[in-house]
Amino acid sequence: MNKVKDVVIKPLDKSIYLQPHTMHFTQNGLKRTWDLLEVHDSVAILLHNIQRNTLIFVKQFRPPVYYGSIPEEDRKNEIDVNKYPPDLGVTLELCAGLVDKDSSLVQIAKEEVLEECGYDVPLSSLIKIGSYRSGVGTLGSLQTAYYCEVSDEMKVSQGGGVGDEIIDVVEMTVPEVKEYVRQDKLPSPPSFLFAIYWFLLNKVK
């Protein structure tokens, strides 16, 4: 996963996933502007293997996280991957995916679980935790989180994503997860913490 090289930062040309905009508005009589990005909504799934009592996550290299880990003065030209190893951009996350097709959210969640983690789960096993806004300063996209209990019999492939996705599937025990979230600098998004604390509050006796 982390054999990353030839890293160069360039201005955005065009994208099928990101559409930059500037909003002009008047608030309390003051004229303001705000730069924002239009992106797809998404789903995220917390998987719990109830046979082994483990939680299942995905680990992957995230270019924006890597970019944010490099001082501004060293972002020009080609990035020195020896000085700034790609591990700086590797995150631990929930299984997740974009809402970029004409299907129900729960159907998209089911497909993501199969593609990323290799479990073929029934739609009825996906329990909605809730929906929330992410990246509210720049994105404001809606993510819907689900909880899903799985067993070893549902495992039909190794997962790892489709196409050019490079994803590692990671299983952690509940004590390991509790220790992980105690880190000072957590290489995970807020949605990860939301789901973990929901699980600890509602599912751990």
Domain presence at residue 14: no
| CATH number for the domain harbouring residue 182 | 3.90.79.10
User: Residue 9 pLDDT > 90, yes or no?
Assistant: no
Q: Are 187 and 88 in contact (CB under 8 A)?
A: no
Strand partners, 172: 55
Query: Within its chain, how far is the Cα of 90 from the centroid?
Result: 11
Domain for residue 35, yes or no? yes
The rounded distance, in Å, linking the Cα atoms of 202 and 189 is 21
Domain of 91 in residue numbering reads as 19-202
For residue 180, give every residue at least 6 positions away whose Cβ sits within 8 Å of its Cβ, in sequence order, or none.
92, 172, 186
pLDDT, tens only, 151-200? 999 999 998 877 788 999 999 999 999 999 999 999 999 999 999 999 99
Is the pLDDT at 150 greater than 80, yes or no? yes
Answer yes or no: is pLDDT of 205 > 90: no
In a domain, 74, yes or no: yes
3 lies in some domain? no
In a domain, 106, yes or no: yes
The answer to the question of residue 5 being in a domain is no
What is the domain count for the chain?
A: 1
> Is residue 135 included in any domain, yes or no?
yes
pLDDT at 1 over 70: no
pLDDT in tens, 91-112: 999 999 999 999 999 999 999 9
Query: What pLDDT, on the 0 to 100 scale, is given for residue 90?
Result: 96
**pLDDT given for residue 147 in this prediction:** 98
The 10s digit of each residue's pLDDT in 41-89 is 999 999 999 999 999 999 999 999 999 999 999 998 899 999 999 999 9
- pLDDT tens digit sequence for 16-49: 788 999 999 999 999 999 999 999 999 999 999 9
The answer to whether 141 touches 134, Cβ cutoff 8 Å, is yes
List, in sequence order, every residue forming a beta bridge with 24; answer none if it has no partner: 33
Confidence (pLDDT) at 15: 83
What does the block give as tokens for 80? 């020195």
pLDDT at res. 190:
95
Mean pLDDT of the chain: 94
Distance from C-alpha of 56 to C-alpha of 117, rounded to nearest angstrom: 8
Which pLDDT score, from 0 to 100, does residue 14 have? Answer: 81
